[in-house]
Structure 1
Amino acid sequence: MTAPTPAPTTAATTGISTDTSRLKSKDNLDKAGQQFEAVFTGMMLKSMRQAKLSDPLFDSKAIDTFTDMQDGLVAKSMAEHTPLGIGKAMTDFLAKSQSDLNEPTAGSPP
């Protein structure tokens, strides 16, 4: 007879990690802000494309797919090099609730 298997944890059944130690890192918070900025910019570009101010000369599913991929890369590049500021605003707001991130580290200036 085999031993009973333990009940699955929340992370195993939902795929969502319950480990929150990575949230305490300023680098991870900055990276999340940059990714949020990219998603926001991508949604904005997609919305602008859906406005259809004119009829395209060539219209196909392949061109739509290419345009979506191109917009994704443009949004990521914009978030890295010329951000709108929404990602920084989000990280600043979240950092206020994280007392560990507000305190300067031993090697950094105040």
Structure 2
Amino acid sequence: MKSYGDLAVFYYRLQHTELALKYVKRALYLLHLTCGPSHPNTAATYINVAMMEEGLGNVHVALRYLHKALKCNQRLLGPDHIQVCFVLKFYFIFFCPCLS
């Protein structure tokens, strides 16, 4: 998992977003198998997928992943936790202007 995540970050920094997305989705798949969909690492990876999808112009797909991250963090940490606020920040600042 970590190796796929590291490769995703590597390619993302090189602006090879499609390749980065391939590796981050592999990491997400393995996280689902090993940790489950309601794990903090899974929620963080949802955010990474959302950022990459948005970078490729797939705003609606990105919103779905961001929504998954939000629900996961709310369930795990409570609605007032700073990580939930972090996800909401991405939701409103980066994605809502794209929908208007």
Q: TM-score range by the shorter chain?
A: 0.3 to 0.5
User: TM-score scaled to structure 2, two decimals?
Assistant: 0.35
Q: Which structure has greater helix proportion?
A: 2
State the structure with more CA Rg: 1
User: TM-score scaled to structure 1, two decimals?
Assistant: 0.32
